[in-house]
Amino acid sequence: MSISRRGFLGNAALAGTAGAAAASKAKGDTAKLELLPRRALGSTGANVTMLGMGCGSRFLSYSEDKAVEALNHALDHGVGYVDTAYSYGNGVSETRVGKVMATRRKQVFLATKIQERDPDKAMAILEGSLKRLQTDQLDLIHIHALMDEADLAKIEAKGGVLDRLLQLRDQKVTKAVGITCHHDPYVLKLALERHDFDSTQMALNAAMVGMKSGVKTMVINPEIKASFQTIALPVAIKKKMGITAMKVYAADGLQGQAKPEKLLYYSLSLPIAAAIVGMPNLQHIEDNARMVRAFQPIGAEEMRSMEETLSTRNKLALDLYFQNHSDHHYVAV
């Protein structure tokens, strides 16, 4: 299946104004908003807000109207990065995001993800993504949820998904191409070494760094993995890729073990562009925006202390959880 930019753009134009009414209360593209602090997204040329609105399971837990309200609320509070995927509800998240993009597209760095490995099916899904998102161009398409070396082989095969996405970048359908992973830092390292991705997203938090037990000896347990921070992150930095962090709060697995601002600031103290956070209510959006505006980097000694304390308690459980974790859960409310 071959999809040209003309095909993509022609189909996207047919999206119409179905979401305009739902977004009628939103401010227009010319609204004067004070964006959150921004950082360069690697060598992509884009500057993105340090906080991104994650539109996965937390976003899907809203009703449709409330989801549109929440995303508008995030934009009103200066969030300029929106992260969605077709697999978040099989297009539900993209459709909801599109209702806001109908009036506010110019305010947003818009990223979606593709998890389908069959290249023809992937292109058909992405054609639909443009319709759902009510846009004729994406800022970033990530290959979603890299799993293992067999999965990487499918992605990088000649004429496979990666080749097709690079063609879409050449055709200006997307400005950048990347890859995400929360399963295995070694396979992500391999992918980043082999290919010049523009961007990557990985699980980065203090609880997933350490490899030590409570008695400060190496844990001999095949289920415990090394961290993305020590294995994959250095490759992305060396190759000047745009880097975004996910699982900053470890899907609430660290709740009560450290102050939320410390968990967020830990990830933002790494050499990344943005933390992508699922925010399940308006107060959570406001709190995260406030924390990012007040951000101060955490010192190396405090970061090491957080790593030892939190990873000793949590790393094995988090490794096992994220090994099979899916952020696609859709609850109709």
Instruction: Supply the pLDDT for residue 23.
Output: 39
Structure confidence by residue, pLDDT tens digits, 136-160: 999 999 999 999 999 999 999 999 9
Instruction: Supply the pLDDT for residue 327.
Output: 59
pTM, two decimal places: 0.85
Q: Give the mean pLDDT of the chain.
A: 86
Distance separating alpha carbons of residues 131 and 145, to the nearest angstrom: 23
Helix (H/G/I), strand (E/B), else coil: 126: helix
pLDDT band at 221 (very low <50, low <70, confident <90, very high): very low
Structure confidence by residue, pLDDT tens digits, 257-286: 899 999 999 999 999 999 999 999 999 999
Contact in structure between 279 and 251 (CB atoms under 8 Å) = no
User: Is 213's pLDDT higher than 50?
Assistant: no
Q: How many CB atoms are located within 10 Å of the residue 201 CB?
A: 30
Structure confidence by residue, pLDDT tens digits, 278-332: 999 999 999 999 999 999 999 999 999 999 889 888 876 776 666 665 555 444 3
pLDDT band at 12 (very low <50, low <70, confident <90, very high): very low
List b or e across 62-79, with b for residues whose CB sees 16 or more CB atoms inside 10 angstroms.
beeebbbbbbbbbbbbbb
Structure confidence by residue, pLDDT tens digits, 20-72: 333 333 444 434 458 999 999 999 999 999 999 999 999 999 999 999 999 99
- Please give the average per-residue pLDDT across 119-131, as a whole number: 98
Contact in structure between 321 and 205 (CB atoms under 8 Å) = no
**Lookup: tokens for 172:** 């200006």
Rg (CA), the chain: 19
Q: Which amino acid is at 56?
A: G
